[in-house]
Amino acid sequence: MDHVTFVPTPDQLAYTFGGAEPVMRIVPRTVLTLWTEDAYGGRITSRDDVATTALNTEDLNPQTGPFWIEGAKPGDTLAVHLVDLTPARTWGASTLIPFFGGLTSIPVSPTLQDPLPERTYLYDYDAGTHTLGFTAHASDFSVRLPANPMLGTVGVAPARREVRTSLVPDYFGGNMDTPEMAAGTTCFLRVNVDGALFSLGDGHYRQGEGESCGTAVEGAMHVTAIVDLIKGGGPAWPRLENDTHLMCIGSGRPLEEAWRAGQVEMITWLGELYGLDRLDAYQLLTQISQTPIANVVDTNYSAVTKIDKRLLPAAVAYGGVHNELRSAAGSLGAVNY
Amino acid sequence: MDHVTFVPTPDQLAYTFGGAEPVMRIVPRTVLTLWTEDAYGGRITSRDDVATTALNTEDLNPQTGPFWIEGAKPGDTLAVHLVDLTPARTWGASTLIPFFGGLTSIPVSPTLQDPLPERTYLYDYDAGTHTLGFTAHASDFSVRLPANPMLGTVGVAPARREVRTSLVPDYFGGNMDTPEMAAGTTCFLRVNVDGALFSLGDGHYRQGEGESCGTAVEGAMHVTAIVDLIKGGGPAWPRLENDTHLMCIGSGRPLEEAWRAGQVEMITWLGELYGLDRLDAYQLLTQISQTPIANVVDTNYSAVTKIDKRLLPAAVAYGGVHNELRSAAGSLGAVNY
Amino acid sequence: MDHVTFVPTPDQLAYTFGGAEPVMRIVPRTVLTLWTEDAYGGRITSRDDVATTALNTEDLNPQTGPFWIEGAKPGDTLAVHLVDLTPARTWGASTLIPFFGGLTSIPVSPTLQDPLPERTYLYDYDAGTHTLGFTAHASDFSVRLPANPMLGTVGVAPARREVRTSLVPDYFGGNMDTPEMAAGTTCFLRVNVDGALFSLGDGHYRQGEGESCGTAVEGAMHVTAIVDLIKGGGPAWPRLENDTHLMCIGSGRPLEEAWRAGQVEMITWLGELYGLDRLDAYQLLTQISQTPIANVVDTNYSAVTKIDKRLLPAAVAYGGVHNELRSAAGSLGAVNY
Amino acid sequence: MDHVTFVPTPDQLAYTFGGAEPVMRIVPRTVLTLWTEDAYGGRITSRDDVATTALNTEDLNPQTGPFWIEGAKPGDTLAVHLVDLTPARTWGASTLIPFFGGLTSIPVSPTLQDPLPERTYLYDYDAGTHTLGFTAHASDFSVRLPANPMLGTVGVAPARREVRTSLVPDYFGGNMDTPEMAAGTTCFLRVNVDGALFSLGDGHYRQGEGESCGTAVEGAMHVTAIVDLIKGGGPAWPRLENDTHLMCIGSGRPLEEAWRAGQVEMITWLGELYGLDRLDAYQLLTQISQTPIANVVDTNYSAVTKIDKRLLPAAVAYGGVHNELRSAAGSLGAVNY
């Protein structure tokens, strides 16, 4: 397998899905060793850096990429296997941004209330214990939490000539902000334009489901991934597979629409894997679905429909590419950045 | 502790929260051994019983109760600890009901499309292996799933003189339809009227999160519960505690509003337990929240906000009543129905 | 026609749809001369009376009624023709209530933001010019607006044994808060329980569409109405007819669901009136529908689907009862209270 | 004033807001005489042309433009005054498209139900009577409706480097699909990129509010407009002014969010015009707002907040540009295409 290392300079960062020139052309089955800047563009470095003064709100969620995948055509399936995610700094930051988040009014659903106060929380990251330190602002409380590295954004260019900011999650992936996007997971995305134009970014050292305040423990990340291409079979919505679960992620508004999209996608997938008709799959899913919310804070909300593989007979998705990439990842040896 | 056994006759079943005469007056710390009819009123007994011909849609989700709790006053907290849930039949049933469920149009959000076909699935329940058998209708597929008994409805009478059908989940509990309502869990509900008027029902032998098609593996249930009363402290939304997690359940429409209600309730609870101000609790919750959807099929949708106790310092909720009832449950010995 | 006058004493007021004892039994085609208290229960009488200190939030939207309509059975259609609405006081009041209204967070969709400041606006009502005086609090601005008397609530008891507060709009009518509920209009409601248990209240001297802040120019009202009964034909959602328009009102959340309910109801009505199949009616409605929002502030939101009668061939709805009651109203002579 | 005539060839049509090369550079106060293709790209010409076979769903809502406005900078206000809209064909068409429209399930909120049947309705346009003929498919019913020409889309390029399809309504205008976008109206849009990149299209010979089935009486249109530029003052959401009303249009999902955006925009505008603080403007708007829904079928829903100018003291918006352009339009003489 080809092995490519790419650490973008600040002016190589992209801020959109679609619309940006590819940074590189790669062939399927390439191993990528990448570095991603944090969602703030690295502008939050202390508890005193608050959103209003520190952020450039036009340039959030910088993307590493996009990569042109040789041979990728609309309708194909891009498989992105996350081999390893390692925090690239000794701290991450979460910040309350005015009129942004799940428990405040927001510009697209405004009220006349004042914004919440701004606050920035710095979490030190201890690589030895793989933990993060939370310290409260207004009371004497601190706690160490296990790190749980994940990527907020994994996406490809959209269809219909569109260009979307890297803040958007949708059928093309993007800013889904789910803790499921962790090492060991393969993400399947439909290719919408020639070359797919795949990118990733928005590393989180840890995030709860829902991403309540709108920002996780955001931090620069070392990323190792293997990118593969399957001809045809592009799913309507992103699908994920890891060793234990199958998942589909819908995004939209209101939140029940995101849930519906993920559910119907899973019903389609169950049909492909087990030959179930749609009503039988609907019934079965009713009894086995897990549905963690991904985010309720982005321009679209995202919800995961998830199935524990142990509940069902063994089945091979996408020709077994997850297992193959998992294996290939194992043979890479220790990842050093 | 008092120990009361109550198996309702068909004409003792209730179909509302509020409005029904109490079947019995009990004192706090009473152990209840109950039997609940299934959500269909026992009218589905074979694969040929479909909703249109078999159901009385005015009389769904029959409740066992309500029980008048001596001393319960508006603003108090009712604690219901589920000691044991044991399937009371050797089969459960899930049925596709026309214009009901999460992946069909519904009367309150109608489209001009035809309804989905009706189908009833019977799941045999094997008490030895504690499993349920699923058999597809339209393909040659069957699988056995672990049983996971839970109650769809646990609720008290609402405030403002209201009477709500037992199909509704809301601040008073009710038809929340979450798999979290399982044995070992304590449910805290605000008392809204004198005597609380607590009831439960809608046993599920198994349900996925979201209850996609609208009906779980519905079945009659043997229920053992201990009911306790805490003066004051009534939560705005239902709270749950088990040995591993704290949970809050919001209900509403659209789904993001249910999520918001549960999140803010948890922020309030974190404040009570740890002295965190609301912004600190918001921040902390952002990184540790689990948010499984409960249902996207009822008159209100329900979403759970859930915290793993291991992530936080030990804390005592409601004076430790969960642990006390857990202990008391343990000393009851084997449950025989 | 029987002619009944009823002015409730404070303890005769009802606060629910369903659940309250009828104040009186009347026969179809009775003329009712009524008085309704304002939504605040008369507790706001000056600019210094703000919601937090003046209101009893358990007792809002007092109803005059309910009236038992002799012969009314579930499935029948109650017709309520509003003959006259005359302000019963020389002032009305609108007040900003904390965490209530369309442009603030609300308890069922909470945020962590502070509530908006409280303010009460008193509008003097001048019967001669039939105008209302608005005076700003924080700037030197005042304007006189034409009065436009209407009723916020017209409803019957719900089905399924339910009792709902008079704050709720739903399929049974209730707190729809539409300016269309004005003199000259006939409201058709499905009867859900024996006797229908009809009531009305929540007079508004004027209200914009949407009722943005949650309270119109609320005021006690003299009401003259004629109540009639049509056997069978009960609509799924409230229908209105006046001399110029046919209307259907859906209520629900999110707002698009309220719109859908009203649209499908109108498609059904067009089918009844013109023999159009549902797709033809859908197409025709697409080009002629008017859709003023009623309210975006109540426990359900309400949206009106409205058709200008001049666009369609003449048709007779409900056997022409609107025209008959209009005529009967005309022959009542001048209304004096 | 400059006067420019532009009739695009098929390959000059644009299908996005942003991303397309300008067809022409014009100075402020230019009169544009344009022709717009219908939303179907002219592919529906008979009742037998149904969506599935006739449409290219990648190329809908073709735009005439974009025009680069000299001197337009982000933050400025573009004023587009519609002088005249005249149907350019003798027929328009409305078609039921599978899984598209307000009363069917849709891809972003899927159900498992079958799509509605396809049907295409052709409306003949009679220029003499200015009427359109509707003929039912499944019954013997026909009616002539007054034509009411309007434009579905008027928009500029979005911010944040985005490119959106011409099917989207949002803060940049676009596919708002409101009958208010008629001759005599001035539309104010914030400029987001240098040159504004303004375009229009999607002519409707008539449309009801809500655009229920998703397609109005779609037809090619002759358009005369005057484009002007105001430095600064760009509104957050589109504002409209005609001789009788001020309007703001919010777009989003769910529908109440679109309503909120339009309401807050109007509150801001009332503040600018009358010096009212936000709470006073909120109160006043509560009593005078008209809120016709624009569309409940597009990727975002749109709702209009509308005020009758007669209710308020005279005020001058944007330096009186509406009146000036209205006057200038009058002096153009008869419009001949």
Tens-place pLDDT, residues A267-278: 999 999 999 999
Is it true that domain C3-328 has CATH number 2.40.100.10? no
Q: d(Cα D200, Cα D39) in Å, to the nearest integer?
A: 11
Within 8 A by CB and 6+ apart from B152, the residues are B39, B61, B175, B176, B177, B181, B201, B202, B203, B204, B207, B216
Greater pLDDT, B1 or C246: C246
Judged by a CB distance cut-off of 8 A, whether residue B115 touches chain A is no
The beta-carbon neighbor of C111 closest among A105, A112, A254 is A105
As given in the structure block, the two tokens for residue C14 are 């009802």
* Residue D31: strand pairing partners: D3, D226
Question: Minimal CA–CA distance to C153: which of C317, C280, C34?
Answer: C34
Would you say D75 and D190 are in contact if contact means Cβ atoms under 8 Å apart?
yes
Rg of chain C on CA atoms, in Å: 19
Q: d(Cα A123, Cα A132) in Å, to the nearest integer?
A: 6
pLDDT at C12: 97
Amino acid at D174: G
State yes or no: pLDDT of C335 exceeds 80.
Answer: no
pLDDT at A333: 78
State yes or no: pLDDT of A152 exceeds 90.
Answer: yes
Looking at the domain A3-329, which fold is it? Jelly Rolls (2.60.120)
Would you say C80 and D269 are in contact if contact means Cβ atoms under 8 Å apart?
no
State yes or no: pLDDT of B295 exceeds 90.
Answer: yes
Contacts of C102 in chain D (CB under 8 A): 256, 259-260, 263
Within 8 A by CB and 6+ apart from C53, the residues are none
Tens-digit pLDDT profile for residues A313-325: 999 999 999 999 9
Q: d(Cα A311, Cα A289) in Å, to the nearest integer?
A: 10
As given in the structure block, the two tokens for residue A140 are 């004497």
What's the angle, vertex CA B266, arms to CA B263 and CA B270, rounded to 5? 140
Would you say A302 and A249 are in contact if contact means Cβ atoms under 8 Å apart?
yes
Contacts of D110 in chain A (CB under 8 A): 260-261, 264
State yes or no: pLDDT of C58 exceeds 90.
Answer: no
pLDDT at D333: 78
Q: d(Cα B239, Cα B189) in Å, to the nearest integer?
A: 7
Mean pLDDT of C159-180: 98
Mean pLDDT of B187-201: 98
pLDDT range class, residue B58, cuts 50, 70, 90: confident
Whole-number average pLDDT of chain C: 97
Q: d(Cα A29, Cα C290) in Å, to the nearest integer?
A: 56
Any idea of the CA torsion for B295, B301, B307, B309, to the nearest 10 degrees? -60
Residue of D nearest to B102 (CA): D111
Looking at the domain D3-330, which fold is it? Jelly Rolls (2.60.120)
Q: d(Cα C78, Cα C67) in Å, to the nearest integer?
A: 12
Would you say A307 and A290 are in contact if contact means Cβ atoms under 8 Å apart?
yes
State yes or no: pLDDT of D334 exceeds 90.
Answer: no
Question: Minimal CA–CA distance to D78: which of D26, D123, D115, D14?
Answer: D26
Interface test with B, best of D97, D99, D100, D105 (most B CBs within 10 A): D105
Tens-digit pLDDT profile for residues A95-119: 999 999 999 999 999 999 999 999 9
Coil/strand/helix, residue D143: strand
Would you say C160 and B165 are in contact if contact means Cβ atoms under 8 Å apart?
yes
Can you give the residue ranges of every domain in chain C?
A: 3-328
Question: Minimal CA–CA distance to B36: which of B53, B50, B23, B49?
Answer: B23
Contact C290 D208 (CB under 8 A): yes
Residue of C nearest to A100 (CA): C111
Judged by a CB distance cut-off of 8 A, whether residue C286 touches chain B is no
pLDDT range class, residue B84, cuts 50, 70, 90: very high
Judged by a CB distance cut-off of 8 A, whether residue C273 touches chain D is no
Q: d(Cα A197, Cα A68) in Å, to the nearest integer?
A: 5
State yes or no: pLDDT of B292 exceeds 80.
Answer: yes
Would you say A17 and D164 are in contact if contact means Cβ atoms under 8 Å apart?
no
Mean pLDDT of A166-183: 98
Whole-number average pLDDT of chain A: 97
pLDDT at D319: 96
Judged by a CB distance cut-off of 8 A, whether residue A108 touches chain C is no
Contacts of D112 in chain A (CB under 8 A): 264, 267, 278-279, 282
State yes or no: pLDDT of B336 exceeds 80.
Answer: no
Amino acid at D299: T
pLDDT at D1: 87
Residue of D nearest to C294 (CA): D291
Q: d(Cα B171, Cα D26) in Å, to the nearest integer?
A: 59
Judged by a CB distance cut-off of 8 A, whether residue A111 touches chain C is yes
pLDDT at C56: 86
Tens-digit pLDDT profile for residues D27-77: 999 999 999 999 999 999 999 999 899 998 778 999 999 999 999 999 999
State yes or no: pLDDT of C112 exceeds 80.
Answer: yes
pLDDT at A281: 98
pLDDT at C43: 96
Tens-digit pLDDT profile for residues B199-253: 999 999 999 999 999 999 999 999 999 999 999 999 999 999 999 999 999 999 9
State yes or no: pLDDT of C318 exceeds 80.
Answer: yes
pLDDT at A337: 81
Contact B161 C282 (CB under 8 A): no
Within 8 A by CB and 6+ apart from B5, the residues are B32, B33, B34
Tens-digit pLDDT profile for residues C181-231: 999 999 999 999 999 999 999 999 999 999 999 999 999 999 999 999 999
State yes or no: pLDDT of C47 exceeds 90.
Answer: yes
**Residue D234 neighbours by CB distance under 10 Å:** 20
Q: d(Cα A263, Cα A241) in Å, to the nearest integer?
A: 15
As given in the structure block, the two tokens for residue D149 are 């020409």
What's the angle, vertex CA C93, arms to CA C89 and CA C99, rounded to 5? 150
Judged by a CB distance cut-off of 8 A, whether residue D109 touches chain A is yes
Within 8 A by CB and 6+ apart from A307, the residues are A245, A246, A247, A266, A270, A285, A288, A289, A290
State yes or no: pLDDT of B334 exceeds 80.
Answer: no
State yes or no: pLDDT of C85 exceeds 80.
Answer: yes
Binding partners of C (≥3 Cβ pairs within 8 A): A, B, D
Coil/strand/helix, residue D280: helix
Distance from the B78 Cα atom to the nearest Cα atom in chain D, whole angstroms: 36
Contact D278 A112 (CB under 8 A): yes
Contacts of D116 in chain B (CB under 8 A): 112-113
Tens-digit pLDDT profile for residues D135-180: 999 999 999 999 999 999 999 999 999 999 999 999 999 999 999 9
Q: d(Cα C253, Cα D256) in Å, to the nearest integer?
A: 9
Given the DSSP bridges, would you call strands D169-170 and D24-26 parallel, antiparallel or unpaired?
A: unpaired
State yes or no: pLDDT of D336 exceeds 80.
Answer: no
Burial class (CB in 10 A: 0-12, 13-18, 19+), D3: exposed
**Secondary structure, 3-state, chain A:** CCEEEECCCHHHCECEECCCCCCEEECCCEEEEEEECCCCCCCCCCCCCCHHHHCCCCCCCCEEEEEEECCCCCCCEEEEEEEEEEECCCEEEEEECCCCCCCCCECCECCCCCCCCCEEEEEEEECCCCEEEEECCCCCCEEEEECCCEEEEEECCCCCCCEEECCCEECCEECCCCCCCCCCCEEEEECCCCCCCEEEEEEEEECCCECCCCCCEECCEEEEEEEEEECCCCCCCCEEECCCEEEEEEEECCHHHHHHHHHHHHHHHHHHHHCCCHHHHHHHHHHHCECEEEECCCCCEEEEEEEEHHHCCCCCCHHHHHHHHHHHHHCCCCCCC
Cis before residue C254, ω within 30 degrees of 0?
Answer: yes
Interface of D with C in 27-56 (CB under 8 A): none
Phi, psi at C66, each rounded to 5°: -85, 155
* Residue C142: strand pairing partners: C135
Contacts of C215 in chain D (CB under 8 A): 286
Would you say A293 and A210 are in contact if contact means Cβ atoms under 8 Å apart?
yes
Binding partners of D (≥3 Cβ pairs within 8 A): A, B, C
What's the angle, vertex CA C281, arms to CA C279 and CA C283, rounded to 5? 70
Judged by a CB distance cut-off of 8 A, whether residue C212 touches chain A is no
Question: Minimal CA–CA distance to A105: which of A324, A307, A297?
Answer: A297
DSSP assignments along B92-103, one per residue: EEEEE-TT-STT
Looking at the domain B3-236+316-330, which fold is it? Jelly Rolls (2.60.120)
pLDDT at A1: 87
Tens-digit pLDDT profile for residues C284-297: 999 999 999 999 99
Mean pLDDT of D106-124: 98
The ipTM value here is 0.98
Q: Does an H or E element contain D5, and which?
A: strand D3-6
Burial class (CB in 10 A: 0-12, 13-18, 19+), B244: exposed
Interface test with A, best of B120, B137, B251, B291 (most A CBs within 10 A): B291
Interface test with C, best of B13, B99, B109, B283 (most C CBs within 10 A): B109
The beta-carbon neighbor of B261 closest among C18, C19, C108 is C108
pLDDT at B122: 98
Would you say C188 and C78 are in contact if contact means Cβ atoms under 8 Å apart?
yes
Phi, psi at B21, each rounded to 5°: -70, 140
Within 8 A by CB and 6+ apart from A53, the residues are none
The beta-carbon neighbor of A103 closest among C104, C112, C115 is C112
Contact A163 D161 (CB under 8 A): yes
Question: Minimal CA–CA distance to C47: which of C182, C174, C128, C138?
Answer: C138
DSSP 8-state secondary structure symbol assigned to residue B138:
S
Q: At what angle do helices D255-274 and D278-288 cross, to 10 degrees?
A: 120
Contacts of A114 in chain C (CB under 8 A): 113-114
Contacts of A58 in chain D (CB under 8 A): 159-160
Cα dihedral sign for B67, B71, B73, B77? negative
Phi, psi at B284, each rounded to 5°: -65, -45
Within 8 A by CB and 6+ apart from B42, the residues are B220
Question: Minimal CA–CA distance to B326: which of B183, B148, B189, B229?
Answer: B183
Amino acid at D305: T
Contact A260 D236 (CB under 8 A): no
Cis before residue A8, ω within 30 degrees of 0?
Answer: no
Q: d(Cα D258, Cα D273) in Å, to the nearest integer?
A: 23
Coil/strand/helix, residue B268: helix
Distance of CA D64 to the CA centre of its chain: 13
